[in-house]
Structure formats: structure tokens, C-alpha cells
Amino acid sequence: MGKAYSVSFIGSGNLAWHLATALDNTEFAVHEVFSRDESHAQALVERLYQAHVMPSLDFSESTSRIFIIAASDDSIKEIANEIILPPNAILVHTSGSQPLTALGENPAVLTGVFYPLQTFSKGKKVNFEDIPIFVESENAETEKILMSMGKAISKKVLKISSDNRKALHVAAVFASNFTNHMLTLSKEIMESNSLKFDLLKPLIAETLNKSLEIGPDKAQTGPAKRGDLEILDSHIEFLKSDEKVSEIYRVVSQHIIDTYNS
């Protein structure tokens, strides 16, 4: 077990909901939670052993060493500018897309990034042991502490630069957010034609499993991969009542054609 450091959270959304409870079972216990919505902070505090709600961003009297901003990307700079920290504090954000410099460049404040690569929802439990965590800091001591905090909850903790983390986040958006939106469109097509989405679940599971086993490039199938233009045209005609969805189908199909039939 490493040296114990108390932790405070700024934010009480999906990520904080899971990360705070995971850390609370380690030597990085959570002592304070601040949220713009105090009721949300209180709900998170009730999941923790010894934390309390902070009424403001004035942490000047806090006994915590690590202050984790687990809030929207757009609010990181504002919070970093407003927060009042005790001496020798480490201010951290959890964003995949924001650079380390989003926390400001005050030489009196130690800064870092602690980015878990996963999608989080409050109602869906996750196992942090299997979640890769990416750490960045320009300060050697801070980096060491954040690596230790990561290893307290995960089996895979890696150092990464801001540029590489942005590439990782963009790739993650394609792999997770875009995939999920495609499934949403698929569900809407099924339901608008009086078909149950459950019918697609074996196909979805096999598609994801095959992509992970042999690689998504090798797993690609379908009319665009075959260059079957007649089928593609009939699908686009079927979707003509929704121009936006029809255009998504056309653009993605064309990209698949260009990739595999060049």
C-alpha cells in the first residue's frame, strides 16, 4: 500500500459517481464533493464512507491533497480559475479531449490528468480493474502520485501526452458514441416498422465479438464491402423519408466502398 492521500471531487456526474466510489475503497479516500447542484453532491456523498458536501470552490482549509475536476469539458478552465486550493495541492481533470494546460499555468499549482477510458452511466456498474487509466503531468512527483492512484483501482495505468490522449478520445468517440448512435438509428428503424429491437441483439453481439477477436477491418461484411450498388440504392430509397438518416447511410457506405474496393 502506498502513501495515503485524501481526495476531493469537483463534479458529481456519471464519472464522479463511479470513480469516487472506486477510490473510496483505497488509500485515496474521498473527503469532499462539490457540485453546482448541491443535491447531486449530496447524493454522491451518501455513497461514500466519510465525505461531506462542499458549499463552494473554496478548498483553502481542505486536508485533501488531490482535487479531481470530474465535470464537463467546457467547465474545466472556469473551475480551474475559480477554485481556491491549499498549499501543495494537486489539481486534476479527467477529460479525454482537454489538454493539461486547460488547468492553467500557475507555477504554485501542481496539475495533472487522470483519464479513465470508459463510458459511464450512473445506473450501470463498471469494474475499474479492467478500465485503462491514462495519466499526464509535467511534475515528476505528481505523475508518481497519479500513477499510484490509478494502480489502486486499475490493472492498466499508462502515461500519455495531451496530443495522444486527444487521438485516443477521438478514436473512442468512433468506437463508443458513434457505434451507440448507429444502434439507436437501427432501433428506430425496427420500431417504426413494428419490429422488435431484440431481434438484432445476437447480430450486434456477434459483430462486436468478431471485431474484437479478428479485428474490425477483417470483420467487415455487407453490401458496401461487396460493392453491391443495387442493394445500396434500394436501401437509400427505403430511407428517403428521413433525409438525414439516408445521408448517413450513403456517406458511411461510400467510405466503406472507398476503403475496400479502391
CATH of the domain at 199: 1.10.1040.20
CATH of the domain at 93: 3.40.50.720
Give a yes or no: residue 90 inside a domain: yes
Dump the DSSP string for 142-197: HHHHHHHHHHTT-S-EEE--HHHHHHHHHHHIIIIIIHHHHHHHHHHHHHHTT--G
Among residues 160, 175, 207, the one where a domain terminates is: 160
Strand-pair partners of 58 = 84
Give, for all 262 residues of the chain, the pLDDT tens digit. 457 899 999 999 999 999 999 999 899 999 999 999 999 999 999 999 999 999 999 999 999 999 999 999 999 999 999 999 999 999 999 999 999 999 998 777 899 999 999 999 988 989 999 999 999 999 999 999 999 999 999 999 999 999 999 999 999 999 999 999 999 999 999 999 999 999 999 999 999 999 999 999 999 999 999 999 999 999 999 999 999 999 999 999 999 999 998 6
Among residues 126, 142, 160, the one where a domain terminates is: 160
Q: Which residues of 26-48 are buried (b: 16+ CB within 10 A; e: fewer)?
A: bebbbbbbbbeeeebbebbbeeb
Give a yes or no: residue 174 inside a domain: yes
Residue with grid cell 490493472, as numbered in its chain? 155
Of residues 142, 136, 119, the one with CA closest to residue 65: 142
Q: How many structural domains compose the chain? A: 2
How far is Cα 101 from Cα 182, in angstroms, rounded to an integer? 34
In the three-class reduction of DSSP (H, G, I as helix; E, B as strand; rest coil), residue 207 is classed as helix
pLDDT at 105: 80
Residues 220 and 234 in one domain: yes
pLDDT at 2: 59
Residues 53 and 113 in one domain: yes
Structural domain including 131 reads 7-160
Give a yes or no: residue 1 inside a domain: no
How far is Cα 88 from Cα 109, in angstroms, rounded to an integer? 7
pLDDT at 13: 92
Give a yes or no: residue 193 inside a domain: yes
How far is Cα 101 from Cα 154, in angstroms, rounded to an integer? 25
pLDDT at 87: 93
Residues 78 and 205 in one domain: no
